[in-house]
Amino acid sequence: MSLIKLENVSVYFQNEKNPRERVGALVGMNLEIEPGEIIAVVGESGCGKTTLGKVITDIYQPTEGRLLYKGKDVRELDKREYREYRLGVQMIHQDSYAALNPNRTIFQSLSLPLLQHKMVKNRQQAWDRLVELFTEIGLTPPEQFLEKYPHQLSGGQRQRILLARALSVKPSLIVADEPVSMVDVSLRISLLDLMARANKKYGISFVYITHDLGTARYIAHHGRIAVMYLGRMVELNQIQAALDRPAHPYFHALISAVPEADPTLRNGRMASLPLKSFDMPSVTNAPPGCKFHPRCPYAEAVCEREEPRLREFEGGLVACHLVEKIRANAPPRD
Amino acid sequence: MTEPILEVKNLTVEFKLHDRTIRACDNVSLTVNRGEIVGIIGESGSGKTTLVFGILNLVQAPGEVTAGQVIYHPKGGRPVDLRTLSPEEFARYRWTNLTSVFQAAQNVLNPTLRVKEHFLETVWAHDPNAREEDVLAKARDLLSQVRLEERVLDCYPHQLSGGMKQRTIIALSLILNPDIIFLDEPTTALDVITQWYILEILKRIQKDHGLTMVFCTHDVSIIGSVVDRLGVMYAGELVEYGPVLNMFKKPTHPYTAGLMTAIPSLRDDVTKRKAIPGNPPDLANLPDSCRFAPRCFAHAQGLCEGDRARTGQLYPSHPGQYTRCYSWEKVFKS
């Protein structure tokens, strides 16, 4: 049984002045998250990836469709079950400064959930638990960190504390929304390693939301990747297979746009990007048919008329009418 | 070919706090040649923005440029030390000779002015007699070079997307035909596709106009394929400087070497990626040793004692490459 299942979930935001105008932040999303797996969700800003994370954690409720936790609709859980779900699904935010109360020490912030959920009997036990946890994720000496206020810590340290906070309640799934985009490059990998270790050691599933394909590949190299565009999932596959042989033309462009550090590869890069237009259409005024057709170099008449459904292709899922044709005409990749 | 356009000599910027002084930019010397693209990388707080602010005379209280020279060589003119100019004299060079594009383009444009008014204001500040039609014709031409439509001229900033604003600012920075442009994190906060596009535009402009560019970023992968030479900053100091290819293939400072392996990419082996241990230094509380010593693998292995006095200068390593690591021969022997 999957841990979390999204069944045809859509989230619409309504325009306050004009209730008939609504924005589809997430449309017809189907996704199953298995215990112990890492899924990377990638896409440009405004593609709905954060909305997806917030639906999984029940911060936003789906306008249509259902969210299932261990096979049961989250809306139909009783109080005890809902509490278990809430503890089982944790979130790590992008901005570590905003995610911690500036007026409280780290210990005050982090001991509260432990006491509230009666996972420890008293403050002393909470202290011991957190000391143990901090040692494990490399915040040493732990006593020093527990007594500090958020502003006394660096961004990388605060992000580790957010990870510790999520881990402290022994969750089964952590939704990490751009957890390293505000962390210095020299420290990003160590944070990703910590998450990968938590995944291995405790079997915690991760939904890693990012726009950075490099870090997505790093953390989820045995997992899956979901590519989103304007609120829709356009491709879902094993990450290495997807990166080696991207099926959807949008994902193809996304991969081509990733900068390559090595200067010896500079001639291959910059050659061309398989896109007709570089600006993303606005969500409030999404084009008809395939949402990607105005930018797609392969688009045909059918793409303007009909919105493609996700279907199986080469072991993954892709939402594109012409994927077979594009693949057949594509030059072989080395 | 290697005619210098800008020589920075021993530039030091200090910030006086109530009980101590922070040197955000410590004795930095570097030469930029005409027509080349120089990249400066460093983590947050490493002083790269302060260096650019120091060069452009934009440091604000409590910060102060306490020492150093910035010698600018105008085309066919006599070199001037920008540091000795009065604010009025400096204003003549700003934008006509030296311009800048800063991070967070959203905040640079005045929200109450149309884009064309930004162009007109800038030109009139330097030449009150310029004719409106001429300025707008030039602006149109520049906008088309950054692939924006003419209608952008009549837009207010809020009507443009982040990528469009950033491109507008690049066009605006070129309105007075400068010969050196400083770009501070010009693509941070933009999506990969927009980022790709802006880098492509910058490269083309550099080629067409023969511009000199100084490109600051924290992400090595963005500029690896763009720049000719690369400077690495750490804790306010320039720790290594040299041709970009050498810096990648044969780094001679442990920090540079660490940065090169710290960034996950799409192609290489994920198991080879490694973070730099420790945290970025606190400028107010620097070690009394080589500033990188606490995080340095060579120091940890006992290969180098990290003597502060001997890191006071740069040592030539490979041709055209300079490092602050005096033990580089020992450290990079293997």
Place of tokens 């209730």: A19
- B21-33 β-sheet, strand order: B21-33, B4-16, B63-72, B80-81
Say how many domains are in chain B.
2
In the predicted model, what is the mean pLDDT of residues B40-45? 85
Interchain CB distance below 8 Å, A278 and B244 = no
Determine the residue type at B195.
Answer: Q
Same domain, B108 and B20: yes
Interchain contact A259–B (C-beta under 8 A): yes
Interchain contact A63–B (C-beta under 8 A): no
Interface test with B, best of A47, A140, A184 (most B CBs within 10 A): A184
Same domain, B13 and B62: yes
Residue A156 has phi, psi (to 5 degrees) of -65, -40
CB contacts, 8 Å: A217 with chain B? 264, 266, 270
Same domain, B38 and B162: yes
Last residue of a domain, one of B206, B227, B248: B227
Determine the residue type at B148.
Answer: L
pLDDT value of residue A267: 52
pLDDT above 70 for B134: yes
Q: How many CB atoms lie within 10 A of CB A242?
A: 27
pLDDT above 80 for B184: yes
Long-range contacts of B79-88 (CB under 8 A, 24+ apart): B82/B55, B82/B57, B83/B57, B87/B57
Written as six digits, the tokens of A103 are 């007026």
Assess if residue B241 is contained within a domain. Answer: no
Q: Chain centroid to CA B311: how far?
A: 23
Last residue of a domain, one of B227, B246, B270: B227
Same domain, B63 and B178: yes
Q: How many CB atoms lie within 10 A of CB B104?
A: 13
pLDDT digits (tens, 9 = 90+) for B196-254: 888 888 888 888 888 899 999 888 888 777 888 999 999 889 999 999 888 888 899 99
Question: Residues A67, A71, A73, A77: is their CA dihedral positive or negative?
Answer: negative
Interchain contact A192–B (C-beta under 8 A): yes
Interchain CB distance below 8 Å, A157 and B279 = yes
Assess if residue B9 is contained within a domain. Answer: yes
Assess if residue B14 is contained within a domain. Answer: yes
Same domain, B106 and B27: yes
Assess if residue B59 is contained within a domain. Answer: yes
Give the C-alpha separation, B165 to B244, whole Å.
Answer: 30
Same domain, B92 and B198: yes
CB contacts, 8 Å: B260 with chain A? 261
Q: Helix, strand or coil for residue A246?
A: coil
Share of chain B above pLDDT 90, in %: 27
Pairing mode of beta strands B229-234, A311-313: unpaired
CB contacts, 8 Å: B244 with chain A? 263
Domain ranges, residue B299: 256-331
pLDDT band with cut points at 50, 70 and 90 for residue B91? confident
Q: Helix, strand or coil for residue A197?
A: helix
Assess if residue B249 is contained within a domain. Answer: no
Residue A66 has phi, psi (to 5 degrees) of -130, 150
Query: Does residue A248 contact residue A323 with C-beta atoms inside 8 Å?
Result: yes
Q: How far is A86 from chain B (nearest CA, A)?
A: 32
Domains of chain A and any CATH numbers: 4-103+149-329 (3.40.50.300)
Same domain, B37 and B117: yes
Give the C-alpha separation, A206 to A2, whole Å.
Answer: 13
Q: Chain centroid to CA A3: how far?
A: 16
Q: How far is CA B43 from CA A12, A232, B235, in A?
A: 39, 35, 9
Written as six digits, the tokens of A209 are 């939301």
Assess if residue B309 is contained within a domain. Answer: yes
Instruction: Indicate which CATH number applies to the domain containing B87.
Output: 3.40.50.300
Establish whether the linkage from the previous residue to B178 is cis, with ω within 30° of 0.
no
Give the C-alpha separation, A261 to A270, whole Å.
Answer: 13
Same domain, B213 and B318: no
Does the ipTM surpass 0.90? Answer: no
Assess if residue B295 is contained within a domain. Answer: yes
Q: Helix, strand or coil for residue B91?
A: helix
pLDDT band with cut points at 50, 70 and 90 for residue B334? low
pLDDT digits (tens, 9 = 90+) for A125-142: 999 999 999 998 888 788
Same domain, B194 and B47: yes
Q: Give, as one character, the DSSP assignment of residue B286.
A: -
Q: What is the mean pLDDT of chain B?
A: 87
Give the C-alpha separation, B293 to B119, whole Å.
Answer: 48
Scanning chain B, the segments in alpha helix (DSSP H) are 48-55, 87-93, 115-126, 132-145, 162-173, 192-209, 220-223, 244-249, 254-262, 297-300, 328-331
CB contacts, 8 Å: B274 with chain A? 189
pLDDT band with cut points at 50, 70 and 90 for residue A256? confident
> Which of B191, B200, B275 minimises the CB distance to A187?
B275
Q: Give, as one character, the DSSP assignment of residue B94.
A: B
Interface test with A, best of B199, B270, B296 (most A CBs within 10 A): B270
Scanning chain A, the segments in alpha helix (DSSP H) are 49-56, 79-88, 106-116, 123-136, 142-146, 155-168, 185-202, 213-219, 239-244, 249-256, 301-305, 323-329
Three-state SS string across A221-240, please? Answer: CCCEEEEEECCEEEEEEEHH
Written as six digits, the tokens of A67 are 């969210």
Q: Give, as one character, the DSSP assignment of residue B325.
A: -
Question: What residue in A sits closest to B161 (Cα-Cα)?
Answer: A279
Question: Residues A232, A237, A239, A241: is their CA dihedral positive or negative?
Answer: negative
Share of chain B above pLDDT 70, in %: 98
Determine the residue type at A217.
Answer: R
Give the C-alpha separation, B315 to B158, whole Å.
Answer: 49
Same domain, B169 and B290: no
pLDDT value of residue A334: 43
Same domain, B146 and B291: no
pLDDT value of residue A269: 47
Last residue of a domain, one of B208, B227, B246: B227
Between B94 and A331, name the one with better pLDDT: B94
Assess if residue B264 is contained within a domain. Answer: yes
In the predicted model, what is the mean pLDDT of residues A192-208? 93
> Which of A155, A262, A273 minimises the CB distance to B248?
A262
pLDDT value of residue A270: 47
DSSP letters for A11-33: EEEE-SS-TT-EEEEEEEEEEEE
pLDDT value of residue B306: 86
Same domain, B264 and B325: yes
Q: Helix, strand or coil for residue A80?
A: helix
pLDDT value of residue B104: 67
